Amino acid sequence: MAWSETLLPASFRGVPFDVISARDDTERAIVQHEYPYRDGAEIEDMGRRPRKVTLRAVFWGDDYEEAMADLIDALDTPGKGELIHPVFGSLTMACPSYQVEHHEDSPDYAEMELVFMEASPDIPFFARPATALAQAAGLAGEVESCLSLAGLASLAGYVSFAASLPGRVSAYVRGEVLGAIRSVTSVARTLASLPQVVAADVLAIPQALVSEARAVAGEVVAMAALPGAFGRFASLAAISDKLPRLSQTAAGKHTAYPLDAAVYAGGVVSGPLTGAAAPRPSVTLPATGTASAAASPELGTYQGQARAMAAAVCNLERATAMATAAGQVLAAEAAAPSLTPAEVETVVGSVRQRLQDCIDEHRLVLPTHLAFRVIEQVRGAALAVQELGATVIHLHPPLITHTAPSQCNLRLLAHWLYGDHTRAAELARLNPGLRNPNFVAQGQVLHGFAN
């Protein structure tokens, strides 16, 4: 892409000005080591000297003196400031000198030659703000990275538990412990409607427990992501339904995480009661709900410890699968929106609730020094999910309600509201309860963006 299509408005310390030319000078600090009776010299590169940027600014019109005076005040302020370079973006610079030129042939016109020098070491050059799409992709990658590290830390805790058993329990008790763990993995397959498989000795091979939990979650995600079968929200709902929270006790109930907007979405999602602009939507967390209500694990016996540990490991893998799928969906939303703000908030709230439950479970079953490693990474993933949801929601103006002025269809309503009939698809997406987009009754209230 040519610089003519990406030029930025120049400014210094927030004072804008017009630029007709720019020159950027860079020089390296070179030390020459010369020796008698030898041709040439040894060159030692000591690094780059401060960049120097020379801009030629122009001011014209009846009020050019006021604009020029504002810039001079900014230039005379001691210290460094932010220069927005027309081509290279934000730079931390100081202005050691400037010149003002007036010419008799150009009334109400002045030119200034501004000399800036780099004022901080190792500042980024040619750095532009990341696009919303790049930010969303980066946050989705951060979610996967954090949860991958959390899974390794969780596995380390389970390995420590499995390694301590042979010296403390008899063969009979070991068999009971192995049975308790296998009951967790068996239930996981049953809930996911998957066939049972021959279970490995997850005490002798601790990694087999993680592999089994990851395989179950992976098959569920693969089935829900069949191309063209469902929409994005429906696919995530299918994954969530098949991957409930496994109980840490033998008699406990498995807790589902339904993607229900009434539980996770804020009040702004349903839209205000009037046509006034609502505050910008934000991602909110639900109050204490049923997802967190679970029976306390039986940590007084080896079997109870093993079941609780296995459930915690499996639930983290299930949360990882759900969070990864949600991150991919939300990152795709930045490029091609298909979810309503309510659905975005629901996805984010559900994933964060899963991650909070994983934190609580690992606090119960792991020693503090091992649980800390898991918790810190899960917290980082939860924050990234929330920021990802907020990034997607903030791509659009505030959500308000509109009242149809007369009987119409969505194309006509979009023309009335925005002057663009092609935004009818957007109105249909924001109003999933609308039965027929060709018949909108007079006075019917619909959700839509403010502009």
Q: According to the per-residue pLDDT averaged within each range, which of 4-18, 145-159, 261-275 is highest? A: 145-159
pLDDT at 134 over 90: no
* Residue ranges matching CATH 2.40.30.200 in the chain: 3-118
Average the pLDDT over 155-162 and give the result: 89
* Residue ranges matching CATH 3.10.350 in the chain: 399-449
Q: According to the per-residue pLDDT averaged within each range, which of 165-179, 262-276, 432-446 is highest? A: 432-446
The CATH number of 3-118, from 2.40.30.200, 2.60.40.10, 3.10.580.10, 1.10.3720.10, is: 2.40.30.200
The C-alpha angle 431, 435, 437, rounded to 5 degrees, equals 70
- Contacts of 104-107 with C-beta under 8 Å, sequence gap 24+, read none
Average the pLDDT over 150-162 and give the result: 90
Average the pLDDT over 180-190 and give the result: 89
Average the pLDDT over 336-344 and give the result: 83
Q: Structure pTM?
A: 0.65
The mean predicted confidence, pLDDT, of the chain is 84
Model pLDDT, residue 274: 39
Q: Which of 12-21, 327-336, 357-366, 427-436 has the lowest mean pLDDT?
A: 427-436
The C-alpha angle 376, 380, 384, rounded to 5 degrees, equals 170
Instruction: At 282, list the tokens.
Output: 């934000």
Say which residues have a Cβ less than 8 Å from residue 435's Cβ, sequence separation at least 6: none
Model pLDDT, residue 295: 65
pLDDT at 240 over 80: yes
Give the C-alpha separation, 332 to 16, whole Å.
36
Q: Which of 28-32, 223-227, 274-278, 382-386 has the lowest mean pLDDT?
A: 274-278
Average the pLDDT over 428-440 and give the result: 84
pLDDT band at 276 (very low <50, low <70, confident <90, very high): very low
CATH topology for 399-449 is: Membrane-bound Lytic Murein Transglycosylase D; Chain A (3.10.350)
pLDDT band at 197 (very low <50, low <70, confident <90, very high): confident
Model pLDDT, residue 380: 93
Q: Which of 249-253, 380-384, 420-424 has the lowest mean pLDDT?
A: 249-253
